[in-house]
Structure 1
Amino acid sequence: MKILLINPNTTEALTELLTGAARKVLPEGVTLDCITATTGVPYISTRTEAVLGGLSVLEILAERHHKYDGAIVAAFGDPGLGAARELFDIPVVGLAEAGMLTACMLGGQFSIVTFAQALGPWYRECVDWHRLGARCASIRMLDGEFHSISDVQEEKADLLVDLTMRAVDEDGADVIVLAGAPLSGLAEQVRDRIPVPIVDCAAAALRQAVTLAALRPVGASRGGFARPAAKPSIGLSDALAARIARADRA
């Protein structure tokens, strides 16, 4: 089995964090390949940036999907996830979706804890898109700036633990979801300091992708995620244009 992890952010250090967290739960016999977007922004934190990241996801999948059994959109907020499910028949898992659904299997309500205020509105929309609003106790975000996106978990670990405790004590969270690619791997480091389960989204997404690939689901031919009708396009990569035009036959 082969799984493709796509980081829609352009920061290679974030891909390394995601890869490290995912590989710790990689089953025997499964190959994980990881790729970083070459266009877009260093880290996605707004709706506009998510649209750019989503296009990168689609272009990368268009070029590589036929080589893999499943794929992961490795940015919290899941940019391009719905579109990827329309266009490609392999299972595609979102970082946020996997983290939240895993949390739902560990408790009644979860709280999302993240490192920047700017992420809050987009993350709330992501929760609602996945129809998980009733299970989300809160979204907690740190105030203040950080020095480096690749080192934010080291810089803010203690503050994130404090924020997590507020989500548990004040919001009634049964489970904590650490949100954002920069926080990949942090759950393992701080779980002994948190009195409820804490989910690493990269690890959860990897295991969810492996499970779905093993189930070998058939792509939708009807319904909300059926592949769209053929249509011409301008200015897209050759592979994505062919997929949209239904000329690739794969």
Structure 2
Amino acid sequence: MRILLVNPNTTAEVTDLLTTAGRRAAAAGTELIPVTAPRGVPYIATLAEAQIGGAIALEMLAAHHGTADAAIIAAFGDPGLFGARELFDTPVIGMSEAAMLTACMLGRRFSIVTFATALGAWYRDCVEMHGLSARCSSVRCLDEAFATLTQVQHDKEGLLVDLAGKAVAEDGAEVIILGGAPLAGLADKVRDRVAVPLVDPIAAAVKQAEAIITLNPRKAIAGSFRRPAPKPTTGLPAPLAARIEHRDIPFAAE
């Protein structure tokens, strides 16, 4: 299996964290193909940045269309996910949706624990977008500055574990999702320090991508994610324009 791992922010080191954690979860023979956004913001933390990142994710998916069996949008919050499911034939997995659906199989209510207060509103909107508000006990965010994205899980490990414990004790969480791409891989390191199951979103996304590839569903021709009718475009990158206009081009012609 070949799975495209699309990071819609510009921090290549975060892509490396995601890829390393994803490869640990992947089955033998699964290849992850990491791609980092060529422009945008270092990490997505607001609704406006999510809109920008979603558009860039669509461009990246179009540029690599036909090169993989499935794709993962590797940003917690799933920017561009529903649009991607419209446009592309191969399955597209949202990292946060995969984490939440996995959490729902491990307990009745989950909490999301993350590293920055700026992420809270966006993550709550993401829970609602996926129709899982009734299963979400809380979104807990650290209220402290951090030095770098790539070191935040190391520098704030103890505080994140404590915050997870509060979500269990005070919010009734039966599963904890460690939300945010910079926390990729942390769940394996601290799983024995939290009283309930932990979910690593990128690991959940890789396993669900593998499952969907194996199930081999057809592309919808009706419903929310059917491919829209062709439409002319102006000024879009050639691969994305071709996809919207139904002029599919090979990857080599990117």
- Tell me the TM-score normalised to structure 1 length: 0.98
Shift of 1:87: 0.1
- Report 1:25-40 matches (<5 A): 25-40=25-40
- Report 1:138-149 matches (<5 A): 138-149=138-149
The amino acid across from 2:208 in the alignment is Q
- 3-state SS in 1 of match to 2:79: coil
Shift of 1:55: 1.4
Q: Which residue of 2 aligns with 1:63?
A: 63
Shift of 1:233: 1.4
User: Separation in 2 of the partners of 1:148 and 1:2?
Assistant: 31
Check conservation: 2:120, 2:141, Cα contact below 8 A: yes
Q: Which residue of 1 aligns with 2:157?
A: 157
User: Separation in 2 of the partners of 1:60 and 1:36?
Assistant: 9
Give CA deviations for 1:133-192 in whole Å, capped at 9, x if unaligned: 000000000102111111110111111011000000000000000000000000011111
- Report 1:39-54 matches (<5 A): 39-54=39-54
User: Separation in 2 of the partners of 1:57 and 1:72?
Assistant: 10
- Report 1:171-186 matches (<5 A): 171-186=171-186
The more displaced of 226-235 and 136-145 is 226-235
Q: Cα RMSD between the aligned structures?
A: 1.0
Where do 5+ consecutive residues of structure 2 fail to align?
A: none
- Tell me the TM-score normalised to structure 2 length: 0.97
Check conservation: 2:98, 2:205, Cα contact below 8 A: yes
User: Separation in 1 of the partners of 2:158 and 2:28?
Assistant: 34
Give CA deviations for 1:194-214 in whole Å, capped at 9, x if unaligned: 010000001110010011011
Q: Which residue of 2 aligns with 1:128?
A: 128
Q: Is 1:209 aligned to 2:218, yes or no?
A: no
Where do 5+ consecutive residues of structure 1 fail to align?
A: none
Matched positions, count: 250
CA 249–20 in structure 1, closer or farther in 2 if over 3 Å, else same: closer
The amino acid across from 1:9 in the alignment is N
- 3-state SS in 1 of match to 2:153: helix
Identity of aligned residues (%): 58
